Structures are given as C-alpha cells and as structure tokens.
C-alpha cells in the first residue's frame, strides 16, 4: 500500500516564488524536506508499506522558519496518523488523519510586510539679529491632504519634521509634499515665501525594508533652507520755539 502527503502555501504581501519556503515530514527518525512550487503546492515522496508494517504510523509536518526579514512564518504543526490494514487480497488498506481529520488538508500561511520611513528637515538663517529657538515655524503638507507636519527651529537654525512612515501597501508608489515657512507677521521681519516640492518614491527592497528616496525641487536629497531678515526702524522729530522782541513775530 502507498500514501503520499502534500499541502499548500499561501503568501500575502508579495508574489510567491518557486522554492521560497521549505517544509519537513518526519517520523521521528527520518526527515524529508521539500519546497513549494510557483503555485504554492508542495509534495513529499510517496511512502510504501508492506505486510510487516501493519498498524499505526505517526508523522509530523512543519514549515521551516528560515528567518527571512519581513516574513512571518506559520508555526502550525500537523500530526498525521497513518493506519495500515491487510485487505486479505494482496493489498493493504492505508488510511490517515491530519490533526484528527480524515484526509485533512495541510496548509501554511505566511505574510510579507516591509517598512520604511523618511525624515525631512532644513535650516533657517536670520540676518539683522540673533536667531532664537522656536522663533520660526514650518509646515510639511501632503498633496493629497493625508499628512500635515509642523515644527519650529532650534537655536542653531535647524529644524526637523517627525518621520513619515511607509508600509508594504505603499511600495511602488510616489508621494508629493510641500514645505513652506509660516508667515508669523512679526514686525521688523521679512519672511521667506519659498515653496519646496518634495517627491518621494517608495520601493520594496525584498528584505523587509522599503527603499525611500526623494527629490526637493527636482534635486535628489536637496536642501530645504529659508532665509529671513530683521530690520528695525524708528523716527524722531525735533521742534523748538522762537521769541522776538521789538515787533510782532510773523
């Protein structure tokens, strides 16, 4: 009599490749390892029984955790119990259960998730007086309106927005943002009305990380700088009095 075990592998998050995952079948003494085909199927070698092997035989099927970055592995363990009986006509009756279910399915499910982030910042310069921390404000706005960042400068003129994080669903996409200075309208200051257009491209590295690249006004990793000036102005007017003796003053 003979029996052959097989199963299926599913992968979400990216396309499954042939030979990408491994699976083992063991009876405690012998172990066989096979890999999936491009459709996610895997099949172990056929097992043959003879009249000296009547009774029950126990096997275990598991997935091999290769530890590839970005992937979750299925830790399910399938116990297969094979029962071999003599039909009395030169054949053996071979039946089996998988985790207690007759001819049960063996399936493993994996997921792939890649993550990445990008952080934008720049510098502020001020002429005419010393720059103070938190004196100027800056906005980072997504073109689709789904993101808006706000920050202020440090005492040395640098500023940074909070990191923007991307997930597997963002791979293959581009994102557009603009960075501007907020015009606080403080007397004596001129504000920089420059608008920086940032285009972010997100790609999957295939190792659980996303490659995030960007251009600023068409320049790769371009600088984002704003320049302000302070000028104070004031006025004074002098007056006095004239007296004339001897005749009327005109």
pLDDT tens-place string over residues 99-149: 999 999 999 999 999 999 999 999 999 999 999 999 999 999 999 988 999
Cα 154 to Cα 27, 128, 135, 161, 229, distances in angstroms: 66, 18, 8, 12, 17
Determine the pLDDT at residue 233: 87
Tell me whether strands 225-230 and 121-127 are parallel, antiparallel or unpaired: parallel
Q: What is the pLDDT of residues 176-233, one digit of tens each?
A: 999 999 999 999 999 999 999 999 999 999 899 999 999 999 999 999 999 999 999 8
Rounded-to-integer distance, Cα 225 and Cα 196, Å: 9
What DSSP state is assigned to residue 10? E
Mean pLDDT of the chain: 96
pLDDT at residue 90 in the model:
87
The long-range contacts involving 129-137, CB below 8 angstroms and separated by at least 24 positions, are 129/230, 131/155, 131/157, 136/181, 136/182, 136/184, 136/226, 136/228, 137/181, 137/182, 137/184
Q: What is the reported pTM?
A: 0.73
Please name the helix (run of DSSP H) or strand (run of DSSP E) that holds residue 219, with its range, or none: strand 219-220
Mean pLDDT of 92-97: 96
- Taking the C-alpha atoms of residue 13 and residue 108, their distance in angstroms, rounded to an integer, is 15
- Residue 29 DSSP code: S
Residue 172 has pLDDT above 90, yes or no: yes
Share of the chain above pLDDT 90, in %: 94
Average pLDDT over residues 4-27: 96
Q: Are 28 and 35 in contact (CB under 8 A)?
A: no
pLDDT grade for 62, boundaries at 50, 70 and 90:
very high
Span 14-41, mean pLDDT?
Answer: 96
Mean pLDDT of 33-50: 97
Counting beta carbons within 10 angstroms of the beta carbon of residue 60, is it exposed (0 to 12), middle (13 to 18) or buried (19 or more)? Answer: middle
CA-to-CA distance for 132 and 156, rounded, in angstroms?
A: 8
Q: What is the pLDDT of residue 29?
A: 92
Does position 75 have pLDDT exceeding 90, yes or no? yes
| Interatomic CA distance for residues 194 and 181, integer angstroms | 8
Q: Are the beta carbons of 123 and 165 closer than 8 angstroms?
A: no
164 pLDDT above the threshold of 90 = yes
């Amino acid at each position: 009599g003979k029996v052959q075990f097989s199963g299926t592998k599913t992968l979400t998050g990216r396309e499954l490749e042939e030979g990408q995952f491994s699976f083992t079948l063991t009876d405690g003494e012998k172990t066989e390892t096979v890999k999936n085909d491009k459709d996610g199927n895997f099949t172990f070698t056929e097992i043959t029984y003879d009249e000296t092997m009547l009774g029950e035989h126990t096997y275990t099927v598991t997935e091999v955790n290769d530890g590839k970055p970005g992937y979750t592995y299925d830790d399910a363990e399938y116990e297969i119990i094979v029962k071999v009986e003599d039909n009395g006509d030169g054949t053996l009756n071979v039946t089996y259960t998988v985790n207690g279910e007759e001819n049960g399915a063996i399936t493993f499910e994996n997921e792939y998730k890649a993550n990445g982030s990008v952080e934008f910042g720049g510098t502020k310069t001020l002429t005419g007086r010393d720059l103070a921390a938190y004196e100027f404000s800056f906005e980072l706005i997504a073109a689709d309106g789904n993101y808006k960042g706000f920050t202020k400068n440090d005492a040395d003129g640098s500023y940074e927005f909070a990191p923007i994080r991307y997930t597997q669903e963002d791979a293959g996409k581009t994102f557009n943002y603009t960075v501007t200075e907020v015009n606080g309208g403080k007397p004596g200051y001129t504000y920089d009305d420059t608008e920086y257009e940032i285009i972010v491209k997100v790609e999957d590295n295939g190792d659980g990380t996303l490659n995030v690249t960007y251009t600023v006004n068409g320049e790769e990793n371009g600088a984002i700088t704003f320049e302000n000036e302070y000028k104070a102005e004031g006025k004074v007017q002098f007056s006095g009095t004239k007296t004339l003796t001897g005749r009327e003053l005109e």
